[in-house]
Amino acid sequence: MPLLLIGFAVSILYKWNYIQHAQRVPDEFNIPYYTAGVDHNKNHIDDGKEILEGAKVYISKSPQYEALREYGGNGWPSGNRGQAGDVIAQAFDYADYDLQVLITQDIKKNPSAYEGKAPTGDKIAFRSPETQAIFFSRYLPSYSTDIEKRSEWQPGDIVVFEKKHIAIVADKVNDNGVRFIIHHFWQYQAGYFQDVLETGAWGRITGHYRISDRILSPRTDNANTKVVKYEVNS
């Protein structure tokens, strides 16, 4: 029995990355690298790469976890606090995409797409994983949610989970060639750069997106129009 308990404890610690996982590079598995093909701010750096770098900058400050709440001022948390949606908002901001403006505009033009499904306030919607997920499903190319399709998972992609969680896909893989993610989910997590896509900890993967200039082309939907999901095969 003691050995079983020890084995169980070790498996839990490993699952949640308290026991460090080996980080490998995609080249070891012959996983090709695809750029997003977008350079919104004309700085000669692919936006997918910039979004990844923005997520890394965010976690480099070791932000303190705080459940999503609305702030005054410009809507951003102060004091180095944040949650899952802040990884995304900060990463996009680093690449000069203002999700607060883009998401707020879309909510105002197309309220039926968000009504009753996610926070919609000007000061909170752009940081909400649920609101971000709806917005990305409307404006970004959608890629496979099957983690076994290695080449479809690229650094800087966005991954959405059914349990209201969202993360940035990292540039390292595990021993199976499956991507690490960059995320923020509670105050006691072992780190922000983790190997958890295979665990199912946040339920099934419901969305997988990559930056595209479509995000800068908001549209006005008919009230009865269903959310559009672009499908792209790489």
Nearest CA-CA partner of 131 in 117, 110, 112: 117
pLDDT of 221 reads: 84
C-beta neighbour count of 95 within 10 angstroms: 24
Q: Tokens in use for 124?
A: 């909170």
Look at residue 169 in the predicted model and tell me its pLDDT.
98
Q: Check residue 116 and give its pLDDT.
A: 92
What is residue 218's predicted lDDT score, i.e. its pLDDT? Answer: 82
pLDDT tens digits, 169-209: 999 999 999 999 999 999 999 899 999 999 988 999 999 99
pLDDT value at residue 19: 79
In the block, residue with structure tokens 């900058």:
57
Say if residues 167 and 55 touch (Cβ distance below 8 Å).
no
* The residue to which tokens 């308290």 are assigned: 18
Nearest to 183 by CA among 166, 163, 200: 166
Give pLDDT, residue 17: 79
Element (H, E) at 132: helix 129-139
| pLDDT at position 4 | 63
Specify the pLDDT at position 15: 72
Low-confidence ranges of the chain (pLDDT < 50): 224-234
Going from N- to C-terminal start, the domains of the chain cover 23-231
Determine which helix (DSSP H) or strand (DSSP E) holds 60, and give its type and residue range. helix 47-60
In Å, how far are 60, 70, 75, 114, 135 from 103, measured between CA atoms? 26, 15, 13, 10, 7
Contact (CB, 8 A) for 164 and 127: no
Closest Cα to residue 131, out of 142, 143, 115? 115
Amino acid at 106: D
Helix (H, G, I), strand (E, B) or coil at 188: coil
Amino acid 230: pLDDT: 39
Closest CA to 111 of 68, 119, 92: 119
- At 228 the pLDDT is 44
